[in-house]
């Protein structure tokens, strides 16, 4: 019996018939942040005596497959996040991998994926690239949690998948169940400047030119075809007041500010 099974297995291998969950690892999304935009200085959320730099954040999916996250309840207000890594057909997931946690966000009144983004104010090196060392860090938001959905078309997308050019996208709401979230190929998730948490407090930051760095998935938990393009930079001049002036921006996925 065992020998027959082995022979069948060999025949299957010879014919190249895919076995369950043998999907190539490239059936994954590729998240790329845009440089932070729509910048302004306002009062800090938790301390109106302090100024804070506020901004909008957009993450595009420039891969061929969706970022598709499903939540499994794991306690009150908590769930584990499972990413699709194996697609049977379009929109039918055949295999998932645990990639993090969803938590209930009371202020937004829906579930968030933990540690989805990180905002940092850094010094520039002379070559126009931020100093990513510990010494280069001036201020940070800490890691930020997100509800991740399709908010707008990605007009810089090179290969929008025709399947997703529908009247409305697949991941359309933050309040579906405990958490059914994601970004379709050719779409972007957006957090506007007014969304709670979209700030870096400028306490003690001296006037000067700084790199405002965004990193998507800073813990590298989500699975992507390219993990090296999860950054983008906006160069800002902080003037007395404080007021700010944007002086340069990198391309999506790059660190060099131009």
* C-beta of 189 vs 229, nearer to Zn ion: 189
CA 90, CA 79: separation in Å to the nearest integer?
Answer: 25
Contact 50/203 with Cβ under 8 angstroms? yes
Residue position matching structure tokens 């002086």: 247
Mark 127-166 with x for binding to Zn ion (rule: CB under 5 A) and - for no binding: --------------------x-------------------
Residue position matching structure tokens 């994926």: 113
If binding is defined by CB under 5 A, does position 221 make contact with Zn ion?
Answer: no
Applying CB under 5 A, the span of 19-27, 39-47, 107-115, 234-242 interacting with Zn ion comes to 107-115
Token pair recorded at residue 198: 């979209």
If binding is defined by CB under 5 A, does position 176 make contact with Zn ion?
Answer: no
* C-beta of 87 vs 191, nearer to Zn ion: 191
CA 217, CA 139: separation in Å to the nearest integer?
Answer: 19
If binding is defined by CB under 5 A, does position 114 make contact with Zn ion?
Answer: no
* C-beta of 118 vs 147, nearer to Zn ion: 147
If binding is defined by CB under 5 A, does position 108 make contact with Zn ion?
Answer: yes
Q: Tell me how long the chain is.
A: 258
Among residues 81, 124, 87, which one has the least CA distance to residue 101?
Answer: 81
Sites of contact with Zn ion (CB under 5 A) = 108, 147
């Amino acid at each position: 019996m065992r020998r027959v099974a082995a022979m069948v297995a060999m025949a299957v291998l010879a014919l190249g018939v895919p076995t369950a969950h043998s999907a190539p690892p490239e059936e994954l999304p590729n998240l790329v942040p845009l440089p932070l935009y729509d910048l302004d200085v306002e009062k800090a959320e938790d301390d109106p005596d302090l100024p804070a730099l506020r901004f909008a954040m957009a993450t595009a999916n420039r891969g061929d497959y969706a970022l598709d996250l499903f939540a499994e309840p794991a306690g009150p207000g908590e769930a584990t996040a499972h990413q699709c890594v194996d697609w049977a057909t379009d929109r039918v997931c055949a295999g998932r991998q645990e990639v993090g946690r969803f938590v209930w966000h009371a202020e937004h009144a829906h579930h968030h994926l933990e540690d989805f983004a990180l905002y940092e104010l850094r010094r520039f090196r002379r070559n126009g690239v931020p100093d990513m060392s510990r010494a280069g860090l001036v201020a940070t938001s800490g890691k930020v949690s997100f509800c991740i959905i399709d908010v707008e078309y990605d007009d810089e997308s090179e290969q929008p998948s025709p399947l997703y050019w529908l009247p409305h996208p697949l991941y359309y709401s933050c309040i579906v169940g405990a958490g059914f979230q994601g970004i379709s190929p050719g779409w972007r998730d957006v957090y506007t400047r007014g969304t709670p948490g979209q700030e870096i407090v400028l306490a003690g930051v001296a006037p000067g030119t700084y790199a405002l760095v965004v990193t998507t998935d800073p813990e590298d938990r989500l699975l992507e075809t390219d993990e090296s393009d999860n950054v983008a930079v906006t160069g800002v001049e902080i003037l007395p007041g404080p007021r700010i002036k944007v002086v340069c921006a990198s391309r999506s996925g790059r660190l060099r500010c131009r």
